[in-house]
Chain A
Amino acid sequence: MKLPLRLAVFGVGVAGLGFLLVWGVADLPPFGHYAGPYGDIITKLVEPQRHMANAVTAVVFDYRGFDTMGEELILFSAASAVALLLREIRERDTVDVVDAIRSDAIRGLGVLVAAATLLLALYVVSHGFVSPGGGFQGGVVISAAFLFVFLTGEYHAYARLMPTKFAEPLESFGAGAYVALGLIAFGFGLAFLENFLPLGVTGRLRSGGSAALVNWASAFAVAGGFLLIYAEYLEGNMAARYRRSKP
């Protein structure tokens, strides 16, 4: 395409988008004013109904737990698709994978940071109904802890710590446990994913009833999913770099 024509097409697109944007923004409620009733209702009801201090996690894993299950399965299928597409060459097709970083100081620091990150992750997951955080965020932080092991130079250590054969069951267990917890509620004569455990005391670690278990299930599924995605990329990259000349 010639440049003037491209500019003309671009101009029409930008004018249309600009119009829609201004139109949309002009009708928004004033900055800082909240018009919808749901947020106010939830913040009033969440403590007496569910004994949870964090309304966000309460909505995610209890009030709309079924929707979250759908999101969970989106991540599950995305991770599976990445594994399916990228799994063309494997570590057994390689020779002499070399760890790039040989400094003991960096390795030591890596182990330290990884351990601290894992601790933070478990804190974020377990306090999901008390303070900001929860299964999804904590799950991703769990996976980040293993990334630090890789980033500080030890592909071998990373592969030994979290090979694909651990990431896959972790992801499947989490996704399966989420659905199973929903089905267990049927056994108590309740609706799918309805709470079937004592709710506990608000602000305590054991508050939240069975939604706390759903929270952990999603943490495992998310951590497993992200680890599987990392593993496919990292193993594929290592395999491509140190590939045998004749397969």
Chain B
Amino acid sequence: MVPLQSIALLFVALGALLVVLVRDVVRQALILSLYGFALVVLFLVFQAPDVALSELVVSAVAYPLVVVAAIARIAAHRKRRGE
């Protein structure tokens, strides 16, 4: 179990770093989704399936969707104002 846990921790650390380093917001939202999935694997290998389930839908599906929708909305708003 320990090697599996180490790999999961490594992926989470890598994902968190990537989310901060990427500057393009749409790409950031996609990487955030992948980072959420890394967290799901982490929770699973640490034997917390209940938390993993919540994390799976909230941070890998629902939250990125809301972020992408907000970005699209701001883009449409800017376009209308002719920026």
Contact = CB atoms under 8 A, between A and B. Distances in A.
Contact of A144 (B57, B72, B73): B57
Given A229-B66, A237-B72, A237-B76, A133 B58 contact: no
Interface string B43-72: 000000110111001100110011001101
A62 to B, nearest CB: 14
A221 interface: no
A140 to B, nearest CB: 4
Contacts of A234: 69
Interface in A190-239: 226, 229-230, 233-234, 236-237
Nearest to A234: B69
B27 interface: no
Contacts, number: 53
Task: Give the contact-size bracket for chain B.
Answer: 10 to 19
A124 interface: yes
A241 B76 contact: yes
B76 A240 contact: yes
B76 A54 contact: no
Nearest to B44: A132
B50 A56 contact: yes
Contacts of A229: 66
A205 B77 CA distance: 49
A57 B49 CA distance: 11
Given A140-B58, A233-B70, A147 B53 contact: no
A197 to B, nearest CB: 23
Given A124-B53, A132-B49, A233-B69, A144 B76 contact: no
Contacts of B80: 240, 243
A143 interface: yes
10 contacts: A54-B50, A56-B50, A57-B50, A132-B53, A134-B50, A137-B54, A141-B53, A230-B66, A233-B70, A240-B73
Interface of A: 54, 56-57, 124, 132-134, 136-137, 140-141, 143-144, 147, 226, 229-230, 233-234, 236-237, 240-241, 243
8 closest cross-chain pairs (CB), A and B: A132-B49, A233-B69, A140-B57, A137-B53, A240-B76, A56-B50, A132-B50, A137-B54
